[in-house]
Amino acid sequence: MAMNRISKEKKEIKWIGLPTNSLQECHQLEKEMQKKIISIKEKEKQLDELILNQIALRI
């Protein structure tokens, strides 16, 4: 824990990991953000389709 590699909460021990290059971490975070943006856009399209289906069924 002193080297900031693991954390301990009560009886649960979690691996934090080894320190990484901040540039590598930035690139990784950008990739994750792009994946999440794509996922959100797909879910918005699905929601739009469901709303249209709901409206069509009510008419």
CA distance 26 to 22: 6
* pLDDT for position 38: 97
Distance CA 58, CA 48 (A): 16
Provide the pLDDT for residue 24: 80
Choose among 5, 36, 31: nearest CA to 19. Answer: 5
- Dump pLDDT digits (tens) for 6-43: 788 888 888 777 766 777 878 888 999 999 999 999 99
For the chain, the domains span: 21-58
The CA radius of gyration of the chain, in Å to the nearest whole number, is 21
